[in-house]
Amino acid sequence: GESVGLHLPTLSVQEGDNSIINCAYSNSASDYFIWYKQESGKGPQFIIDIRSNMDKRQGQRVTVLLNKTVKHLSLQIAATQPGDSAVYFCAENRSNQGGKLIFGQGTELSVKP
């Protein structure tokens, strides 16, 4: 969904554990879903994306899962490190709205050493 006026949920994990960050989306016609990482005071950085005709995609230490039935997206980070501490956003690319790119609420990940 669209992020308006809400403070970010937080997730705290121990270094070395796996992290799972979740996101719900609203537009069933979105054709790409994207995860971003944002560090304080910086612009978001691309992590991984997934096309709507897939349900899983793996990158280096990250996996994205897409469940279109319940409009749910998740990002799994393996062996979480202190450098992974940041805010994570999901985004959906709505090709049926001229390529409108809408961001979800975001989750603040805190990694304890």
Q: Which residues bind another protein (CB under 8 A)?
A: 2-8, 31-32, 34, 36, 41-46, 49, 51, 89, 91, 93, 95, 98-106
Which residue, 18 or 101, is less far from another protein as judged by CB? 101
Which residue, 41 or 83, is less far from another protein as judged by CB? 41
Question: Shortest distance, CB of residue 94 to another protein, whole angstroms?
Answer: 9
Which residue, 17 or 39, is less far from another protein as judged by CB? 39
Question: Shortest distance, CB of residue 46 to another protein, whole angstroms?
Answer: 6
Which residue, 18 or 58, is less far from another protein as judged by CB? 58
Q: What is the DSSP string of the chain?
A: ----S-PPPEEEEETTS-EEEEEE---TT--EEEEEEE-TTS--EEEEEEETT-SEEE-SSEEEEEETTTTEEEEEESS--GGG-EEEEEEEEEGGGTSEEEE---EEEEEE-
Please give the Cα distance from 27 to 57 (Å, whole number).
20
Please give the Cα distance from 103 to 50 (Å, whole number).
15
Question: Shortest distance, CB of residue 68 to another protein, whole angstroms?
Answer: 16
Question: Shortest distance, CB of residue 16 to another protein, whole angstroms?
Answer: 28
